[in-house]
Amino acid sequence: MAGEERIYPVVPPTPGSEPYWEGANAGKLMLSHCKSCNKSFYYPRGACAMCLSTDVEWREAKGTGTIYTYSVMRPAKPVYVIAYVTLDEGPSMMTNIVDCDPAAVKIGQKVKVVFKPREDGTKIACFTPA
């Protein structure tokens, strides 16, 4: 994979997810956090995924987690890894594992967030081995 960079497409933000994308552009992983049940959740939305409360705020995540499962996308050029990462705060997110040999990726591996540019220069959260 040396010298090959994946190009990340731009997807318009969903209503209410703007703080997540603003955080990514500033190098911060932002999570929605419910003040009613005290749980963080991902994908960003205006109502809690657990209790449906709309008493939600944004909090910066640590940016660390563990690979729950992954798949190596070999037909793609360049080859890349998609994974579900369980964040230390609890939620899981589908993401890309980057800046490593795909053969070295393992379930249970500790990872940390890195931000990669999309086609328009805005940033997207990816993860790399910690």
Mean per-residue pLDDT of the chain? 93
List, for residues 49-90, the tens digit of each pLDDT value: 899 999 999 999 999 999 999 999 998 788 999 999 999 999
Give me the CATH topology for the region 18-129: OB fold (Dihydrolipoamide Acetyltransferase, E2P) (2.40.50)
Radius of gyration of the chain (CA): 15
| Beta pairing class for 80-87 and 40-41 | unpaired
Alpha carbon 21 to chain centroid, angstroms:
11
Contacts of 33 (CB under 8 A, 6+ apart): 39, 40, 41, 56, 57, 58, 59
Helix (H) or strand (E) holding 34: strand 30-34
Overall size of the chain counted in residues: 130
Q: What angle is formed at CA 126 by the lines to CA 5 and CA 129, rounded to 5 degrees?
A: 95
Whether residue 2 has pLDDT greater than 50 = no
User: Which tokens sit at 10?
Assistant: 């731009």
The whole-number pLDDT of residue 1 equals 44
For residue 102, the model assigns a pLDDT of: 96
Please, which residues have CB within 8 angstroms of residue 123's CB and are 6 or more apart in sequence?
A: 24, 25, 27, 115, 116, 117
Q: Domain residues of the chain, as ranges? A: 18-129
Q: Indicate the pTM of the whole model.
A: 0.91
